[in-house]
Amino acid sequence: MNNEALPLAVHADDDDLALMSAFAAGDAQAFEWLYQRHHAALYRFVRRLLGRDGAAQADEVFQDTWLRVVNARERYVPKGASFRTWLFTLAHHRAVDVLRRSGREVALPEDDAGEPFVPEGTAWSLWPRPEEAIDELVFWRRAGAKLLECLEQLPVAQKTAFLLHHEDGITLDELARALDIGFETAKSRLRYSLAKLRVCMGAYLDAAALQPARITDRVP
Amino acid sequence: MSEDLSHDPHLRAALRHAPDHALVPPSRLSATILSAARQAHRPARSAAAAAPVRMRAAGSRPLLVWLRRLASPRWASAMATGLVAALGFGLWLDLGIEPVVERPRVVVANTATPAAQSSADAASALTPSGDAVTTAGRVAAPSTERATDTSPPAPTAEGPPTAKAAALPPAVPADPRAAGRRGEPSAGAPGRRDKSNPLTAPARQDAVAPRAAAAPAVAQAPSSRVAEETTPASRLNDTGAVSAARSARKAEQSDAASEAAPAASPALTLLRRARAETATGSARWTWTAPGSTTMAPVDDAAQAWLLGVVQSARGRWADVTDRGDSLDATEVRWWRDGWPHATLRIEAEGLRWLEPSGRIRYAPLEAATLQRLRSF
């Protein structure tokens, strides 16, 4: 899917809400713009949420999420959350259904402080060898791969909190409202996810902290 | 919100550089969704036509229709008849033909030494699966001819190994453990069965047992005759071989479930998976070859190299806890759909296999073999 696939650019400047309204009023092209804006991020979110083991169901969850949007076009009411947050929440619920069905979703006590988190795998995995000279881009790519490895080890609830907060930039308030949980619960999930990821990332974050700001400045 | 919960710039940077960052849904999926959206606004007749798009994706309506059809007496009786016929045919294949065709082959088959016999039988037995390993640890090619070609030469005193076999990596035939794996009773481990190779051990036993029992005394015929009479055509036409293949497949399926055994060969598991998924296109496998730092697809050359690892380390893998962080090790890594899948360290005295789950396996190897594996 690319921009060339869109026949007219009449909706290019519309916000998501306007597009959804136009779609509800019968403008199919508005939906294509919505899809164009969010499809890649949503697909990535679903893949990450389902993890390696659930990758086979990612297409099903992704498709079902969009079809729910189609079917709910006339009933859609923002309710204080953005369209994107609503969309990602739909995907989250659908992904949890799939995980529950496959027996891979484990109920998580909100207070996750019972046992210390011990990451699986080795802290040095993908870490460059001493003689291996790599540039910053390669370093961050490896850090990205390592982060995906670490995300696999998080419960779905914590993974969702982290991804929505860090990748999609929604606030804790929005997170709590979208997932229909209390603010403290949302905060707690995010805190545990960050703590675990920092442990799991280990040397990568230490090294990143030692790097000058230019590394993170380069992030688009 | 506390300071601790603000956006972590490093984690965000890592997220944005993750290998899946450029991932997009398949175009067919996008087309289906956009088509459903377009049809949602059409008049009632068109909207009704849009429904199957969703249902087809979910797979529920056609399934229900078929289930309803199958529930009718006519379909049920037809199915039952078909099943009985298939069962009868299967039993006829198993019981009726095998002894007749098997007998002359016993003489031929036993002209080779028991070890070679079991190798050749296992090779022919495993060929139909298209992705199996012969007794000597070599992976059978999808074509039957290749499978026969790669079956190991008889280690008899009459003649040297064929040139092709010599060109392949050594499969440690002199190792007493290898004898045990071939079903030859050894003084040290009578009746021992090697569980390290999930494919060959049971297939070998199942496929060879009736032949070995039928003519135990025949031996020491010229190896040229063995080669002549164990051609691919004769093997394929032999219903006994078909039966043996069936047994091998059953054994393969049962052993596939126990691949998590402590000494299972991780390289073999990876090779089988990479081959199958590459063939069907269901996953993209990449790796960094020894001495290389660039990712490349797991193509035929990569699979051949991995096959060398399978052969060299066959039966030697053992679970360990030591990570063995030696700096001079050569590392090889595999990714599945961009996700880290495994790391192999070629160390000074052996191979160390590390998985993201934290499981570590080690196979001690000779220096020459390790040196050979370092080159790609």
Q: Averaged in consecutive runs of 10 residues, what is the pLDDT profile of chain B (376 residues)?
A: 64 85 88 88 51 43 69 80 89 62 43 42 39 37 38 38 39 38 38 39 37 38 40 45 55 46 76 84 81 79 88 87 74 78 86 81 88 83
Would A148 be classed as within a structural domain? Answer: yes
* Domain assignment of residue B283, yes or no: yes
Q: Are A76 and A15 found together in one domain?
A: yes
Determine the pLDDT at residue A40: 92
**Per-residue pLDDT band at A16 (split at 50, 70, 90):** confident
> Do B85 and B207 lie in a common domain?
yes
Length of chain A: 220
Rounded to 5°, angle at Cα B370 from B366 and B373: 145
Candidate from A55, A132, A220 with C-beta closest to B293:
A132
Rounded to the nearest 10 degrees, the angle between the axes of helix B239-257 and helix B114-126 is 80
- In total, chain B counts a number of residues equal to 376
**Nearest partner of A203 among A152, A130, A131, judged by Cα:** A130
**pLDDT score of A214 more than 50:** no
With respect to residue B60, please indicate whether it lies within any of the assigned structural domains.
no
Q: Does residue A19 lie within any of the structural domains?
A: yes
pLDDT score of A66 more than 90:
yes
Choosing from B257, B278, B305, the residue where a domain stops is: B257
Cβ within 8 Å, pair B57-A137: no
Tokens of B211: 């032949």
Q: Is residue A56 a part of any domain in this protein? A: yes
Q: Are residues B239 and B327 in the same domain?
A: no
Mean pLDDT, rounded, of chain B:
62
Q: Looking at beta carbons, which residues of chain A come within 8 Å of B11?
A: 147, 162, 166, 194, 197-198, 201, 205
Domain-embedded: residue A114: no
ipTM confidence:
0.76
Q: Which domain holds residue A40?
A: 9-101
- Secondary structure letter of residue B18 according to DSSP: S
Q: For residue A181, tell me if it sits in a domain.
A: yes
Q: Is the separation of the CB atoms in B94 and B157 below 8 Å?
A: no
CB contact under 8 A, A145 and B30: no
How does the average pLDDT of chain A come out, rounded? 78
CB-nearest partner of A63 from B11, B32, B355:
B32
Domain termination site, one of A101, A122, A146: A101
CB–CB contact A216 B40 (8 Å): no
Q: How far apart are CA A53 and CA A34, in angstroms?
A: 29
Q: How far apart are CA B68 and CA B279, in angstroms?
A: 35
pLDDT (tens digit, 9 = 90+) per residue, B36-74? 888 877 654 444 444 444 434 444 456 766 777 777 777
Q: Is A11 helix (H, G, I), strand (E, B) or coil?
A: coil
Q: Quick one: pLDDT at residue B1?
A: 42
A168 against A166, higher pLDDT: A166
Range in A30-44, A116-130, B190-204, B282-296 the model is least confident about: B190-204
SS3 label, residue B77: helix
Asked if residues B334 and B290 have their Cβ atoms less than 8 Å apart, the reply is: no
CA distance B105 to B112: 12
Who among A62, A126, A190 is closest to B5 (CB)? A190
CB contact under 8 A, B12 and A73: no
What DSSP assignment string belongs to A42-108? HHHHHHHHHTTTTGGGHHHHHHHHHHHHHHTTTT---TTS-HHHHHHHHHHHHHHHHHHHTT-----
- Which of B217, B237, B257 corresponds to the end of one domain? B257
Boundary of a domain, candidates B257, B276, B311: B257
Sheet with B350-354, side-by-side order of all strands: B296-297, B285-288, B330-336, B339-346, B350-354, B360-364, B318-320
Least confident of A64-73, A128-137, A200-209, B92-101: B92-101
Within 13 Å of residue B277, how many CA atoms lie on the same side as its CB? Answer: 17
| B22: in domain | no
Which residue in B5, B323, B337 is closest to A55 by CB distance? Answer: B337
Question: Closest partner residue to A144 among B21, B40, B335, by Cβ?
Answer: B21
Number of domain units in chain B: 2
Nearest-neighbour CA in chain B from A79: distance (Å): 23
User: Of A155, A82, A16, A191, nearest to B1 (Cα)?
Assistant: A191
Task: Kindly state whether residues B114 and B211 are assigned to the same domain.
Answer: yes
In a domain, A131, yes or no: no
| Partner-chain contact B17 A144, CB within 8 Å | yes
Q: B203: which 2 tokens? A: 């297939």
Both structure tokens of B158: 């009459």
Determine, yes or no, domain membership for A122. no
Q: CATH number, domain at A66?
A: 1.10.1740.10
Other CB atoms closer than 10 Å to residue A47's CB: what's the count? 24
pLDDT-derived band of residue A65, with 50, 70 and 90 as boundaries? very high
Q: Rounded to an integer, what distance in angstroms lies between the CA atom of residue B21 and that of residue B129?
A: 37
Q: Is residue B129 part of a domain?
A: yes
Supply the pLDDT for residue B134: 37
Task: Identify the CATH number of the domain in which residue A150 sits.
Answer: 1.10.10.10
CA distances from B16 to A77, A169, A205, B172 (A): 31, 13, 15, 47
B28 contact A CB<8A: no
Chain A, residues 2-31, CB within 8 A of chain B, namely 23, 26, 28, 31
Q: Computed over its alpha carbons, how large is the radius of gyration of chain B?
A: 26
Mark whether A77 and A146 lie in a shared domain: no
Angle at B283 (CA atoms; ends B281, B285), nearest 5 degrees: 110
Quote the minimal CA–CA distance from B259 to chain A in Å: 18
Same structural domain, A94 and A18: yes
Which residue segment(s) compose the domain that B99 sits in? 78-153+161-178+191-257
B199/B139 same-domain check: yes
Residue range A137-162: average pLDDT? 87
Q: Does one domain contain both B134 and B170?
A: yes
Question: Number of structural domains, chain A?
Answer: 2
- Which of B102, B106, B164, B157 lies closest to B136 in space, CA to CA? B164
* B228 and B360 housed in the same domain: no
Q: Which amino acid is at B108?
A: V
Query: Pick from A47, A75, A101: which residue ends a domain?
Result: A101
Final residue before a domain boundary, out of A58, A86, A101: A101
DSSP state of B330: E
Residue A125 within any structural domain of the chain: no
Q: Do both B246 and B291 map to the same domain? A: no
Task: Kindly state whether residues B349 and B203 are assigned to the same domain.
Answer: no
The letter for the amino acid at B234 is: S
CA pair distance B193, B201, nearest whole angstrom:
7
B340 part of a folded domain = yes
Q: What pLDDT shows up at residue B34? A: 92
**SS3 assignment, position B222:** coil
Tell which A residues from 159 to 198 touch B, by Cβ distance under 8 Å: 162, 165-167, 169, 172, 187, 190-191, 194, 197-198
Residue of chain B whose Cα is closest to the Cα of A63: B33
Q: Is residue B5 part of a domain?
A: no
Q: Are B149 and B231 contacting, i.e. CB atoms less than 8 angstroms apart?
A: no
Q: Does A62 touch chain B (CB under 8 A)?
A: yes
User: Is the same domain home to A13 and A97?
Assistant: yes
Residues B218 and B298 in one domain: no
Residue A104 pLDDT grade (very low, low, confident, very high; cuts 50, 70, 90) = low
Q: What pLDDT does residue A44 have?
A: 93
